Structure formats: structure tokens, C-alpha cells
Amino acid sequence: MGTTLLGTGAYLPSKVLTNEELEKMVDTSDEWIRERTGIRERRIAEKESVVDMAYEASKEALKNAGVKPGELDLIILATLTPEKRFPATACLLQARLGAKGVYAFDVSAACSGFLYALDLADAFIKSGKAKKVLVVGSEKLSEAVDWTDRSTCVLFGDGAGAAVLGDGGGEVLSSKMYADGSLEELLYAEKCGFIKMKGRELFKQAVRSMAKACQEVLAEVGVKPEELSLVVPHQANLRIIKALAEKLNLPEEKVFVNVDRYGNTSAASIPIALHEAIKKGRLKRGDLVLMTAMGGGLTWGASLLRY
């Protein structure tokens, strides 16, 4: 018995913002965005709040897991765009789900937030302190970007993803999480400020740190890259994903990509991708899936899961 992904869910706002539309807003081109990032379009939450999106993704994950909100022992929500300074967005979600009394808190680890939260959920389950945990990544990054700054506004999108974890036939085989606060200036946002990024340096850090974390988790349990069914990397840039696949010696078809449709949704990126991969039948029970992320903090990590 190990920490098992019992069910997943995702929510993407219906409003699509294309590269062509961005051409009218800032000095950019569809060609530049596609070539440098692989992004074609992203979703924008016009009416939805961070809690609304988290709620929709969670409802679907709970339904797919066959778990009722009242059966949860813990809700961990990862976001860099919390609904309020406080209470935690996880508490607002808990109330919306009607999971009264359930232990709930937020994790602030930017794009690595979902993996940090998953690592915590696994520790709670392994220690016996929780049996069923809801882990959510929800982001309204459209509120955190400067829509006059072409170097960042073309990159991000809104959305949410969720997973219910509990005892079952699966397992978190290995998980390594890291942070280096001295690299803060590569990617940050001041309180109530916009996202600031040193893209070129961050690109190199992303490839290097994710590849190393992946190699460490694989080495820890003696799994070879060719034994993996799927890799679900953080969706920030197609060129980063391709460079990572090359470093890990993995064929492209084993690496899940949806950055073309959603851009970078930070903490929501991995759970959205994971949910889509499962829905498309790209993951079957017993398969090995490797997830990896890097983001503001800097934070990074990798997690190897038997689905």
C-alpha cells in the first residue's frame, strides 16, 4: 500500500487568448512566440476566481476518485496568485467544497508548488496522519502579469488542476524537492506587483536543475529512463522541455506537452497535464510517471510515481 493517485481533475477557462491577439497588444509576433516558447494560445479567467477554478478541478478529481469532500483529511493548495492575503485559498476551497473542519493550508512554491504539495501529501499519508488528501494547483496569472511587458505577458495563462491521493496500489517511489532563495532575482513578483523574469538565465537553471532532480530520483530507486511510461514536466517553454528530454535521453513521445494550448500556468501546470495524460489513456495503472518542475524561489524538484 502506498500513496496512490486516486483521481484527477482540471479546469481551464473558456476564454482563449491567441498569439495573434497578443500581436495587437504588444510588439510581438506569433512567429517569435511559437519559435521561442512553443505557445500558440493560453486561457484567461475573465469571470472565474482562483477559488472558482480550484473548486471545479477539485470536484472532478473527487468524482474520479470516488471520494466525498467530507472524507478528506487534508487539503493542500499551491498558488502564487492567492485569492486573498489571508485566509489561505485552501480554506476558501474547503468551505466551497463543504469539507467543514478539514485541515487546509496553502503552499507558496511558484511553479514547483504542485510537486511540493504532493511531497507533503505523501509524507502525511506515509506517517498515517492522513488517509485522503486533496492537492490542488490553481492560478490566475493574468492578474500577475504586466500586459505591456512583452517579455513576460506572452508566457502565462490561467487554470487549475487537482489530484486526490490516498492508500492504494500506486506509490510515490522517490521525491526530491529543493530551493535556493539566493536566486530570487531570476523570477519574482513584489507584493501586489507584476512578475519579473530574467528569462535567459532562468532557462539554463530550469534545464540543469530539473534534469539533475530527475536523475536523482531515478537513481535512488534504480529506474532507467527507458522504463518510464511518461514524463510530465512543468509546462513553461517547449524548448526547455525538449532540452530536458534530450538530457534524460528520452524520446519525445514519452514527454507530455500541452504548453502550446495553455502557456505556463505555474502551480496548475503539472496537475492539468497529468489529468489530460490520464484522460487520453497515456497512463495506465502500474505505469511509472516522472514529474518535474522549476520556478520562482528558486524552487525545483522531481517526483517518481507508480500510477
Active site residues: 111, 234, 264
- Is residue 150 at the binding interface for ligand UT7, with CB under 6 A as the rule? yes
CA distance 55 to 59: 6
x/- track of binding to ligand UT7 for residues 167-196 (CB under 6 A): --------------------x---------
Of residues 15, 34, 36, 282, which one binds ligand UT7 by CB under 6 A? 36
Helix or strand run (H / E) with residue 245: helix 238-247
- Is residue 32 at the binding interface for ligand UT7, with CB under 6 A as the rule? yes
CA distance 195 to 213: 25
**Closer to ligand UT7 by Cβ: residue 230 or 236:** 236
x/- track of binding to ligand UT7 for residues 224-243 (CB under 6 A): ------------xx--x---
Long-range contacts for 284-288 (Cβ within 8 Å, ≥24 apart)? 284/229, 285/169, 285/170, 286/169, 287/229, 287/230, 288/173, 288/223, 288/227, 288/228, 288/229
- Is residue 294 at the binding interface for ligand UT7, with CB under 6 A as the rule? yes
- Is residue 262 at the binding interface for ligand UT7, with CB under 6 A as the rule? no
x/- track of binding to ligand UT7 for residues 93-132 (CB under 6 A): ------------------x---------------------
184-to-40, 108, 138, 191, 263 alpha-carbon distances in Å: 29, 14, 22, 14, 22
Q: What is the DSSP letter of 307?
A: -
Q: Which residue has the cell 530574467?
A: 198
Contacting residues toward ligand UT7, per CB under 6 A = 28, 32, 36-37, 111, 150-151, 154, 187, 199-200, 202-203, 206, 236-237, 240, 264, 294-295
